[in-house]
């Protein structure tokens, strides 16, 4: 498995992602306008102390491999729990009711699945959930799990603050409204900060009536991390489920972007993956160009963030300067009662 090709591709992921999602995100921002009532500026946030703690939970494979949600549920953690859309149902099913759920991706079919899709039977065929190392419940019976998830989200929705980017598909907005979630909106930045001639973001703010912007870091997990300290003001932030890669032995087919990489490189697809030796685990994980790009962004953000960042994933590829790679138990023992 060679690293050079994958790292070369990673340099272009930002532009490729922007080209792919900008038009769809702007279209969705227009369609979501009837629901714009509150923004992240309207959140009532208490003043936190220097040790105020939060846990950001995303949907990497270590989430179920390490039984993360069940371990959080067994403690009396008093800080904020922030989930990305992809880990939301998993947390609910294991008794963790997050204060906040962050959603960003404009995909018209897949993202609504994280909340239970009432129209799943009529959707195009898609093995996205079955073939990946997500929540194993998806592998058993997708239709049955979808119904269970729909009921679970409806049961707990009124307890959740949905932090929705204006780019989300209206199907996601509808599910959040149906389940009783308290929705707070935000805009993402679309323009290159180094190019003053770009005006998409400025036009978007006008289109949405002045909804404030927040950096995303390119994906919902990083956006949730940024939200924890930039908006909520927490100063001790744990990351869980941030594998940003694949466990040793995971078949390429079971990786998120396998089909796209195979279409690009054919028989050379293995060269697009990047091996990373994790010194804390003494294991060699591997990642793809997109996750490698996400990893580099978080490492850079951690240098600038006004919080101390702890990676409590207990797996994956995310480690480096300004990130404390510790166990979830250690974080909970140290900061579990530091909600304020």
Kindly provide the residue ranges of all beta strands, DSSP E only, lying in 176-257, ordered along the sequence.
182-188, 213-214, 236-240
Task: Flag whether 68 is in a domain.
Answer: yes
Query: What single string gives the DSSP state of each residue in 177-189?
Result: HHTT-EEEEEEE-
H or E stretch covering 19: helix 13-31
Nearest residue to 164 via CA among 180, 142, 181, 150? 181
pLDDT at residue 1, as a whole number? 55
Q: Phi then psi for 100, rounded to 5 degrees?
A: -135, 145
Task: Flag whether 31 is in a domain.
Answer: yes
pLDDT at residue 197, as a whole number? 81
Rounded Cα–Cα distance for residues 162 and 83 (Å): 10
Task: Flag whether 340 is in a domain.
Answer: no
Q: Is the pTM of this model over 0.85?
A: yes
Rounded Cα–Cα distance for residues 152 and 198 (Å): 42
Q: And the tokens for 274?
A: 């990047």
Rounded Cα–Cα distance for residues 90 and 94 (Å): 6
Rounded Cα–Cα distance for residues 51 and 338 (Å): 6
Q: Tens digit of pLDDT per residue, the chain (340 long)?
A: 545 677 777 676 666 666 678 899 999 999 999 999 999 999 999 888 888 999 999 999 999 999 999 999 999 899 999 999 999 999 999 999 999 999 999 999 999 999 999 999 999 888 888 777 777 766 678 899 999 999 999 999 999 999 999 999 999 999 999 999 999 999 999 987 677 788 899 999 999 999 999 999 999 999 999 999 999 999 999 999 999 999 999 999 989 889 989 998 899 999 999 999 999 999 999 999 999 999 999 999 999 999 999 999 999 999 999 999 999 999 999 998 766 5
CA 107, 112, 118 angle in degrees (round to 5)? 130
CB 184 within 8 A of CB 43: yes
β-sheet bridge partners, residue 213: 187
pLDDT at residue 3, as a whole number? 56
Burial (CB count <10 Å: 0-12, 13-18, 19+), residue 72: buried
Q: What share of the chain is helix, strand, coil (3-state, %, to 5)?
A: 45, 15, 40
Task: Flag whether 201 is in a domain.
Answer: yes
Residues 6+ apart with CB under 8 A from 155: none
Q: What is the residue range of 231's domain?
A: 4-335
Rounded Cα–Cα distance for residues 289 and 293 (Å): 6
Q: How many domains does the chain have?
A: 1
Rounded Cα–Cα distance for residues 8 and 272 (Å): 9
The separation between the first and the last C-alpha atoms of the chain, rounded to the nearest angstrom, is 46
Rounded Cα–Cα distance for residues 310 and 324 (Å): 5
DSSP 34: G
Q: And the tokens for 149?
A: 């998830």
Nearest residue to 315 via CA among 239, 220, 227, 228? 239
Task: Flag whether 127 is in a domain.
Answer: yes
CB 106 within 8 A of CB 21: yes
């Amino acid at each position: 498995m060679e690293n050079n090709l994958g790292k070369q591709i990673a340099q272009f992921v930002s532009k490729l992602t922007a080209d792919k999602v900008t038009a769809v995100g702007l279209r969705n921002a227009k369609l979501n306008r009837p629901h714009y009532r509150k923004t992240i500026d309207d959140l009532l946030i208490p003043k936190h102390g220097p040790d105020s703690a939060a846990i950001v939970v995303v949907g990497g494979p270590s989430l179920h491999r390490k039984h993360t949600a069940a371990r959080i549920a067994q403690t009396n953690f008093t800080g904020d729990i922030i989930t990305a859309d992809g880990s939301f149902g998993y947390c609910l099913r294991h008794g963790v009711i997050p204060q906040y759920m962050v959603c960003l991706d404009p995909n018209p079919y897949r993202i609504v699945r994280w909340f239970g899709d009432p129209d799943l039977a009529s959707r195009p065929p898609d093995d996205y959930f079955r073939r990946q190392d997500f929540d194993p419940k998806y592998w058993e019976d997708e239709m049955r799990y979808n119904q269970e998830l729909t009921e679970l989200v409806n049961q707990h929705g009124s307890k959740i603050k949905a932090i929705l980017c204006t780019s989300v598909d209206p199907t996601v907005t509808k599910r959040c409204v149906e389940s009783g979630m308290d929705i707070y909106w935000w805009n993402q930045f679309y323009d290159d900060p180094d190019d003053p001639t770009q005006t998409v973001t400025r036009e978007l703010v006008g289109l949405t009536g002045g909804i404030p912007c927040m950096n995303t870091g390119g994906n919902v997990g990083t956006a949730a991390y940024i939200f924890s300290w930039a908006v909520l003001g927490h100063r001790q932030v744990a990351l869980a489920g941030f594998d940003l890669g694949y466990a040793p032995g995971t078949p390429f087919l079971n990786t998120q972007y396998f089909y796209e990489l195979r279409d690009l490189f054919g028989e050379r697809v293995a060269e697009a993956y990047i091996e990373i030796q994790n010194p804390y685990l003494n294991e060699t994980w591997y990642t793809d160009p997109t996750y490698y790009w996400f990893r580099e962004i978080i490492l850079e953000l951690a240098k600038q963030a006004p919080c101390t960042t702890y990676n409590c994933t207990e797996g994956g590829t995310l480690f480096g300067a300004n990130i404390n790679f510790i166990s979830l138990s250690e974080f909970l023992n140290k900061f579990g009662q530091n909600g304020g």
